[in-house]
């Protein structure tokens, strides 16, 4: 790919980066406790949570496992679990 | 001159002539910060804005650093932009000028050449602009107020060309050109607008097309990005030549393209200089020619891009080139002299004698030129041309 | 139906550290500001983690010029947009505390003094985090950084942080506010207000840094809540010079509740440094009094 003049670059191409492989802990949502309030989505630094029809969906392609969602969830519906394949 | 393009012919100050020309060019954004001897340009522009003759956004910033930054921003948003400065102000802009070149933003700066501190001195030399030589900015040095006027019109066209897209600078000697009064022809706004197409950049900051400017890059691409600036600056040479020709066709004035040659065809000794000094040399040449001396002059208009091939060709028949530098790099010597030696090395050209003179406004008279020619002839005859720069009339009693 | 899906103007896949306070702040700012914006950012963490060539996280036009000139570049963009007749696009600067308090302070002062229609948001993580945690004019009293380390003769930063909110107020801005990422609705409301007024506006936003503050990644939001609840960083709003809103505290927490969670303040809990905690409590008490937070 030819370089753009002046280093100008296209919007939103970070989406190709899989930051999910930085993760040691995976947020797991208890959908029975979750009421889809969206607090976790607001606080997710990695835009890795979607609230879709009141359902909280974690995008594991991007989630870095910081745990803010679990800490801030008002209904304690998210728990951080050790990522499969990670030695603790 | 093309009589239909003429707005006025009058004796006026260089700064006023530049401001009136900027009015005809009509940048959308002008950023200003006072510094001697540039201030008259911005004051004249202020009056034009205050009277409604100029519709630009006129921004009185808090430093030259911000002046350069404002025109960086305006150019990134696709608007023609302009500032003027001198000396310390240009140095303060340095970081932004590198950034403009790397981001390929064609803002234009009038550099009113002035010495650098310390000791503080408000008179002319070229140390300020020469210090910016590695940035990627186009630099054209002018000899007269009329050439300054005409070069401003040309330089926007060169800088904004899609094949160039680099910042550009017209370098005019402080006081000698900025404050002197000379007969000047100003051009009609319509004629200037007709000559200068609207600025139409490849990229611009626009919510409809959200682009990222100023990205982070690693070693896998950085050499290429920097080479692109180097290459664009080299290629701008052809654009400078083309636009000089177009200007001659439209307005009738011509000052050479990247260099201007005077009496060089048969010259054994060729002086090389930039800026108003060229006018003084031309006066001296008339005397020398009357004495039958085969001396000529190459005035370098475009120092960046550097006219290497043009110099090699023009100097091919000469015995010696005498480079008159109005700046120097400490421990290395005259900057122009050094570059010309490098461009001639191994190419079989003339020997190079390099003088540093005219620092901090030390006057250069036609007699100065005559004496330098005499000295140079003796050096050529003796075969003892010093490899280092000669500091002309250095007063060793003060050292 | 995806009616409740919210748009992200900071795309995922950026390189911020896990739990980054700045990334949270910028997502909230951009969502409040909407599509018709141009963002200018100085060099810093935000610039570094969002802008690799070919992998930008920005979904709005974004310009990174240099470390110290974002307000001036934004001034040029704002002037150029208006010159072109575009009075709809908002220009926002989002810069760190190093760029805002220190190296770009002159440019910020110039930008607001000239009255450009720009919203300046300082994301304050209280030190130069991008270069590896060195003190800035925003580093609070007592905090250790790599240039204010705990040593035989040193107990961290010796000076209180510069009161930039008051300095901005002294520029007679029409809108000055403080915010933290722990109060997203409050931040969104303030961003919208700052954009709605004609002329410059300033928002001071606390964005804790896990590495620099010595906290766990999941604690970022919590710390930005505790700094408010102790009175160390009051959430306030000034409109046309008048204090128009204050986030009240029924019972302010003791500053220890905030300090003890951070490694940068760990040395304050050594017996000989008890006086320093008392000093910090005094700062919180002064804020509580100044803004009548308890009333």
In tens, the pLDDT along B294-347 reads 999 999 999 999 999 999 999 999 999 999 999 999 999 999 999 999 999 999
A vs B, Cβ pairs < 8 A, gives 39
CB B300 within 8 A of CB B256: no
Q: How confident is the model at residue A88, as a pLDDT?
A: 57
Query: Which residue(s) pair with A82 in the sheet?
Result: A25
What band does C5 get if pLDDT is binned at 50, 70 and 90? low
Tell me which chain C residue has its CA closest to the CA of residue A54.
C4
The overall average pLDDT reported for chain B is 97
Contact B212 A10 (CB under 8 A): yes
Residue A5 lies in a domain: no
Helix axes B145-160, B14-25, angle to 10 degrees: 30
User: Which residues on chain B place their C-beta less than 8 Å from a C-beta of chain C?
Assistant: 28-29, 31, 56-57, 59-63, 65-67, 69-79, 81, 95-96, 99, 103, 205-207, 209-218, 221
Q: What are the pLDDT digits (tens) for B9-40? A: 999 999 999 999 999 999 999 999 999 999 99
Q: Residue C210 contacts by C-beta under 8 Å, 6 or more apart in sequence?
A: C17, C18, C19, C20, C21, C216, C217, C219, C220
Amino acid C288: pLDDT: 97
Name residues whose C-beta falls within 8 Å of residue C225's C-beta, 6 or more positions apart in sequence: C180, C182, C183
CATH code for position A44: 3.30.70.20
- Percent of chain B exceeding pLDDT 90 equals 99
Cβ separation A68–C50 shorter than 8 A: no
Contact state of B211 with A11 under an 8 Å Cβ cutoff: yes
SS (H, E, C) chain C: CCCCCCCCCECCCCCCCCCCHHHHHHHHHHHHHCCCEEEECCCCHHHHHHCECCCCCECCCEECCCCCCHHHHHHHHHHHHHHCCCCCCEEEEEEEHHHHHHHCHHHHHHHHHCCCCEEEEEEECCCECCCCCECCCCCCCCCCECCECEECCEECCCCCCCCHHHHHHCCCCCEEEEEECCCHHHHHHHHHHHHHCCCCEEEEEECCCHHHHCCCHHHHHHHHHHHHHCCCCCCEEEECCEEEEECCCCCCCCHHHHHCCCHHHHHHHCHHHHHHHHHHHHHHHHHHHHCCCCC
The reply to whether residue C56 touches residue A64, judged by beta carbons under 8 angstroms, is: no
Any idea how long chain C is? 295
Mean pLDDT of B258-281: 98
Chains adjacent to B (≥3 CB pairs closer than 8 angstroms): A, C
**A contact test, residue of C2, C7, C13, C225 with most A CBs within 10 A:** C13
pLDDT at C1 over 50: no
Residues of chain A with Cβ-Cβ distance to B202 below 8 Å are 5
CA distance A77 to C274: 39
- Residues from chain C that touch A61, judged by Cβ atoms under 8 A, are 12
Please say if the pLDDT value at position C3 is more than 60.
no
Nearest CA in chain A to B213: A8
Q: How far is CA C125 from the centre of its chain?
A: 7
List, for residues C29-74, the tens digit of each pLDDT value. Answer: 999 999 999 999 999 999 999 999 999 999 999 999 999 999 999 9
The predicted pLDDT at position A83 comes to 85
- The pair phi, psi for residue B200, each rounded to 5°, is -130, 85
User: Is C15 inside any structural domain?
Assistant: no
Domain range for residue A63? Answer: 18-82
C236-257 tens-digit pLDDT: 999 999 999 999 999 999 999 9
How far off is chain C from A78, nearest CA to CA, in Å? 12
Q: Does C89 touch chain B (CB under 8 A)?
A: yes
pLDDT recorded at residue C2:
41
The residue of chain B with its CA nearest to that of A10 is: B211
Interface check for A3 against chain B (CB to CB < 8 A): the answer is yes
- Residue B165 has its nearest CB partner, among A5, A7, A12, at A5
In chain C, the residue whose alpha carbon lies closest to the alpha carbon of B219 is C53
pLDDT at B41 over 60: yes
Using CB atoms, which residue from B73, B96, B217 is nearest to C80? Answer: B73
Looking at the DSSP bridge assignments, the partners of residue A29 are: A78
Collect all residues of chain B within an 8 Å Cβ-Cβ radius of residue A10: 211-212
pLDDT at B195: 98
Contacts of C167 (CB under 8 A, 6+ apart): none
Where residue C7 falls among pLDDT bands split at 50, 70, 90? Answer: confident
Determine the residue of chain A that is closest to B232 in CA distance.
Answer: A5
**C176 CA: distance to closest CA in chain A (Å):** 24
**Per-residue pLDDT tens for B351-397?**
999 999 999 999 999 999 999 999 999 999 999 999 999 999 999 99
Model confidence band, residue A87 (pLDDT cutoffs 50, 70, 90): low
Q: How many domains, chain A?
A: 1
Here the CATH number for the domain that contains residue C269 is 3.40.50.970
Report C:50-69 residues touching B (Cβ under 8 A). Answer: 51-54, 56, 58-66, 68-69
- Average of pLDDT values for B80-102? 98
Whether ipTM exceeds 0.95: yes
Q: Residue range C260-265: average pLDDT?
A: 98
Average pLDDT, chain C: 96
Task: Give yes or no for A27 touching C (CB within 8 A).
Answer: no
In terms of CA atoms, which chain C residue is nearest residue B203? Answer: C61
Query: Is C39 a domain residue?
Result: yes
Using the beta-carbon criterion (under 8 Å), do A15 and C5 form an inter-chain contact?
Answer: no
Q: Helix (H, G, I), strand (E, B), or coil: what is residue B272? A: strand
CB contact under 8 A, A3 and B225: yes
Residues B28, C56: C-beta atoms closer than 8 Å: no
Asked if the C-beta of C84 comes within 8 angstroms of chain B's C-beta atoms, the answer is yes
In a domain, C133, yes or no: yes
Task: Establish whether the linkage from the previous residue to B316 is cis, with ω within 30° of 0.
Answer: no
- Split into its structural domains, chain C has a count of 1
Using CB atoms, pick whichever of C38, C69, C76 lies closest to residue B29.
C76
Question: For an interface test with A, which of C2, C15, C18, C27 has the most A Cβ atoms less than 10 Å from its Cβ?
Answer: C18
Angle between helices C70-83 and B64-76 (to 10 degrees): 50
* Of B69, B79, B99, Cβ closest to residue C107: B69
Q: Is residue C3 part of a domain?
A: no
Which residues, 6+ apart, have CB-to-CB distance to C21 below 8 Å? A45, C123, C125, C181, C206, C207, C208, C209, C210, C220, C221, C224
> What are chain B's domains?
3-251 (3.40.50.970), 259-398 (3.40.50.920)
Instruction: Tell me what the mean pLDDT of segment C92-109 comes to.
Output: 98
**CB-based contact (8 Å) between A12 and chain C?**
yes
pLDDT in tens, B96-144: 999 999 999 999 999 999 999 999 999 999 999 999 999 999 999 999 9
3-state secondary structure of B126: coil
């Amino acid at each position: 790919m030819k370089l753009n003049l002046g280093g100008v670059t296209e919007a939103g191409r970070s989406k190709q980066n899989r930051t999910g492989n930085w993760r040691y802990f995976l947020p797991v949502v208890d959908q029975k406790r979750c009421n889809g309030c969206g607090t976790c989505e607001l606080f997710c630094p990695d835009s890795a949570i979607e609230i879709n029809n009141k359902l909280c969906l974690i995008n594991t392609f991007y989630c870095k496992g910081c745990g803010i969602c679990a800490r801030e969830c008002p209904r304690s519906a998210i728990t951080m679990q050790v990522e499969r394949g990670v030695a603790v | 001159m093309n009589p239909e393009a003429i707005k006025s012919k009058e004796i006026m100050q260089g700064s006023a002539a530049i401001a009136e020309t900027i009015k005809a060019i009509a940048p959308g954004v002008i950023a200003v910060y006072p510094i001697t001897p540039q201030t008259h340009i911005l004051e004249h522009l202020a009056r034009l804005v205050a009277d409604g003759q100029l519709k630009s956004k006129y921004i009185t910033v808090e430093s030259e650093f911000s002046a350069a930054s404002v025109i960086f921003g305006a150019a990134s948003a696709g608007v023609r932009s302009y500032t003027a400065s001198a000396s310390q102000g240009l140095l303060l802009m340095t970081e932004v000028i590198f950034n403009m070149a790397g981001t390929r933003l064609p803002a234009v700066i009038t550099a009113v050449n002035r010495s650098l501190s310390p000791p503080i001195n408000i008179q002319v030399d070229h140390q300020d602009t020469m210090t910016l030589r590695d940035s990627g900015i186009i630099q054209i040095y002018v000899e007269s107020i009329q050439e300054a006027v005409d070069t401003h019109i040309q330089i926007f066209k060169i800088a904004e060309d899609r094949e160039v897209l680099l910042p550009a600078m017209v370098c005019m000697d402080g006081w000698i050109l900025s404050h002197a009064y000379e007969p000047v022809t100003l051009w009609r706004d319509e004629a200037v607008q007709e000559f200068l197409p609207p600025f139409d950049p490849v990229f611009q900051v626009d919510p409809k097309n959200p682009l990222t400017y100023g990205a982070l890059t690693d070693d896998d691409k950085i050499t290429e990005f920097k080479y692109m600036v180097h290459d664009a600056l080299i290629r701008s040479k052809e654009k400078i030549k083309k636009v000089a020709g177009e200007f001659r066709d439209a307005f009738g004035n011509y000052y050479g393209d990247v260099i201007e040659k005077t009496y060089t065809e048969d010259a054994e000794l060729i002086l090389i200089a930039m800026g108003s000094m060229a006018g003084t040399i031309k006066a001296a040449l008339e005397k020398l020619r009357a004495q039958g001396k085969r001396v000529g002059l190459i005035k370098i208009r475009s120092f960046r891009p550097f006219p290497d091939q043009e110099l090699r060709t023009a100097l091919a028949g000469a015995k010696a080139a005498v480079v008159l530098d109005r700046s120097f790099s400490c421990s290395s010597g005259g900057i122009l002299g050094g570059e010309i030696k490098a461009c001639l090395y191994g190419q079989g050209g003339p020997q190079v004698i390099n003088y540093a003179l005219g620092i901090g406004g030390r006057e250069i008279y036609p007699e100065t030129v005559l004496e330098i020619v005499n000295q140079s002839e003796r050096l050529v005859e003796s075969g003892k041309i010093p490899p280092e720069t000669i500091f002309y009339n250095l007063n060793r009693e003060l050292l | 139906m995806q009616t409740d899906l919210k748009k992200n103007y900071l795309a995922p896949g950026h390189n911020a550290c896990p739990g980054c306070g700045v990334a949270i702040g910028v997502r909230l700012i951009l969502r409040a500001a909407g599509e018709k914006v141009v963002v200018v950012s100085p060099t810093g963490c935000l610039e570094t983690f969002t802008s690799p060539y070919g992998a930008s996280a920005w979904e709005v036009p974004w310009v990174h010029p240099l470390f110290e000139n974002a307000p001036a570049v934004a001034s040029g963009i704002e002037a150029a947009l208006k010159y072109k007749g575009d009075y709809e696009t908002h220009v926002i600067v989002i810069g760190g505390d190093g760029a805002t308090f220190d190296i770009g302070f002159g440019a910020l002062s110039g930008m607001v003094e000239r009255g450009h229609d720009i919203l300046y948001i300082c994301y304050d993580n209280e030190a130069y985090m991008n270069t590896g945690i060195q003190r800035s004019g925003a580093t609070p009293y007592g905090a250790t950084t790599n240039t204010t380390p705990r040593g035989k003769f040193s107990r961290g930063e010796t000076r209180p942080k510069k009161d930039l909110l008051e300095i901005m107020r002294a520029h007679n801005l029409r809108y000055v506010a403080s915010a933290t990422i722990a109060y997203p609705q409050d931040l969104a409301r303030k961003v919208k207000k700052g954009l709605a007024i004609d002329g410059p506006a300033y928002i001071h936003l606390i964005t804790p840094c896990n590495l620099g503050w010595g906290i766990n990644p999941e604690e970022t939001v919590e710390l930005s809540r505790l700094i408010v609840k102790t009175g160390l960083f009051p959430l306030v709003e000034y409109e046309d010079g008048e204090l128009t809103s204050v986030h009240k505290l029924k019972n302010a927490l003791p500053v220890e509740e905030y300090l003890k969670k951070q490694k940068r303040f760990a040395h304050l809990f050594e017996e000989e440094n008890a006086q320093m905690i008392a000093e910090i409590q005094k700062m919180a008490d002064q804020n509580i009094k100044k803004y009548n937070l308890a009333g």
